[in-house]
Structure 1
């Protein structure tokens, strides 16, 4: 994505230099920011539309049908698995993953940048989730909870943080110069983690499916926004004309 943006800016500069005698060197970066905002605003609109349907009968029917199907599949083995996955998407789980990622960043890539970026994405998702929960104020499902919960329901903090953090790790994996087979394996593992954390919250009875959908959408918004901002910052550093 970074290379594509850099090529786009270079092409735009050449076009403007050829067609327009007075070229504004900041224009390409302004356009890049506008593209980022369009993507983010589109995601926000989708999130808002879903939020506005929370109290509709149609969404309630979907939530009930999906929840009943997932809960009906409860077994001791699956319960242990989904409890483990929900812990992976909790505070201690992220601390462990961040510690491992810190070692990889320092020993393999020899730079702090990636761990700082991943931590920032996770922090933004966590803080914004707490604000959204307070604003929307949706109660938890009334069915049996297999784990204890204290906060409100929508959007799911586990789903939102998982999509933001592990989604950003997927971006980094795709970006890293490693063998394709390892890229595919890591991407599949990270996608499985994201989906498993989301499903675990329904399975354990603490979230509606729409909570998970809202969390995934909001988390994806943060991934796209942060990736574009990080790349834009890098482009400013690389561009000799700025």
Structure 2
């Protein structure tokens, strides 16, 4: 569970972003989707910090925690859950939009969905969050992802109409 939860951490994204960026660039010869993924990740992180500050909910009791957490860090909503929903959710969107092979589409969407759910579950299992923290993180991440996709699609539509 520690390995799973680490896939939703800032440290992991530091390594994942360049790899995903290279894969996205290799597929469409543009950095646009890589930059979009990075912006969605960073913005969801910043929104999560604002939400944590606003709600100020403390984490579960230390006796329930199986991992060492930064002292004084807040619980609601789960940052791992929110950023994984937004970032990996955007990758799901890209797979849905651009993958031609139905088999590959089902495989990657299933794997990314499972990863998002496992990251959320790991936060509860490890005692870092209450279930409501994770559900709120998923909801906030999904809402932010839908806002971002709407903005991107609107921009793409306007760009197509101007040509």
TM range (shorter): over 0.9
Map Cα deviations across residues 91-150 of structure 1 (whole Å, 9 max, x no partner).
121122211111112222111000111111111110011111111010111142111222
CA distance in 2 between counterparts of 1:163 and 1:89 reads 9
Count of paired positions? 160
Alignment match of 1:227 (pick from 141, 145, 149) = 149
In structure 1, the residue matched to 2:37 is: 118
Map Cα deviations across residues 32-78 of structure 1 (whole Å, 9 max, x no partner).
xxxxxxxxxxxxxxxxxxxxxxxxxxxxxxxxxxxxxxxxxxxxxxx
2:46 maps to 1:127 = yes
2:75 maps to 1:156 = no
In structure 2, the residue matched to 1:171 is: 93
CA distance in 1 between counterparts of 2:108 and 2:85 reads 15
2:16 maps to 1:97 = yes
Q: Which runs of 4+ in 1 moved over 4 A?
A: none
2:127 maps to 1:208 = no
In structure 2, the residue matched to 1:236 is: 158
CA distance in 1 between counterparts of 2:102 and 2:56 reads 44
TM-score normalized with structure 1 length: 0.64
Q: Structure 1 regions of 5+ residues with no counterpart?
A: 1-81
CA distance in 2 between counterparts of 1:240 and 1:105 reads 25
> CA RMSD, aligned part only?
1.2
Q: Structure 2 regions of 5+ residues with no counterpart?
A: none
Alignment of 1:40-55 (within 5 A): none
